[in-house]
Structure 1
Amino acid sequence: MLKAVSLTAVAVMCLLLVVPMDSGAAEKADEQGWISLFNGKDFTGWRISEDGDWKVEDGVIVGGGNRSHVFSDKKFKDFEFKTECQLEPGSNSGVYFHSDYVETWPVVGLEVQLNNTHGDPRKTGSLWGVTHAFESAAKDNEWFELHVKVVGNHVQTFVNGKMIIDYIQPNGVTDDRRVREEGGSFALQAHDPKSVMKFRNIRVKPLDSKKSKDK
């Protein structure tokens, strides 16, 4: 009887070793270290504020209607972030990082502006309210890639591979609109009823700030 129990225990242990504890494919990094933040089907892993008019269509997040934001549940400090975006003409949007969920405008963190032809002079890739580009490197009604890299207090933004902003936050900044030591969530923005924005292929690569600085 003891031998039978022992064999059963060994068999169970072998199964535990073979079957992974986490079967969530969306949270597993690929060979380059990228983790998908959007499963292409629904808002699992995200939280919508202000009952916003967000939906998923054909693997794409579509935002519009009144002001609202979609916040990621997961938080990151040092990272590379990439997503493909598309704006309808005259639209205003953005991607926040180092933020926290709230029911109004994000209170903390920095916003990477998405605006190709809206009246706001601060165009796509700008760090809104901090440092700006006044010509857009993207076009409306076309998919473009937004790439954000944050290491310590160093922030870089890229649009279709072109660097837009290279910003080092000065020491001692205490304003809520800043790189935060504790990191935070990402948030996709629906700015106003006249703006329509789309996002797909949303992913992040966590970074080790010390290793990144040594390179």
Structure 2
Amino acid sequence: MMILLRMPFIFACILLITATGAFGQINAAPEGYTLLFNGADFTNWHVPEGDGGHWRIVDGVIDYDALSEAAEDKSLWTEKEYGDFELHVDWRIKETPFINPNVPIVKPDGSHKKDANGREIRISVPDSDSGIYVRGTSK
């Protein structure tokens, strides 16, 4: 009886290990999707002219140090334009030594969260910033 109880546990462990390996792959998009980043280089991306290497790939992840030497737009753009789309992103913000001590909590409607006395609630957060902008919309 003990062997029969162990079999589902062993099977679950094998399934978990296999699934973990599958989710770690970034070189294959699910059917019907287009992979935007290959994990190796900026193929199909436009790096700003004169950037000076501040946009780079580190351990399969796009990294930016916010020090681009490009004269104008410092953003990274896809070479191709996309119409109606769903975007699925794995996102990571790297650790920063700087703290912004005065950031309002922004609610989904864009207004700032307030306390019981009507004053804006402000918090301290790591001073790191990033975003995804759809071409043609303001930043």
| Bigger RCO of structures 1 and 2 (CA < 8 A, at least 6 apart) | 1
Q: Please give the TM-score of this superposition, normalised by the length of structure 1.
A: 0.31
Larger Rg: 2
Q: When you count strand as a share of all residues, which structure comes out higher? A: 1
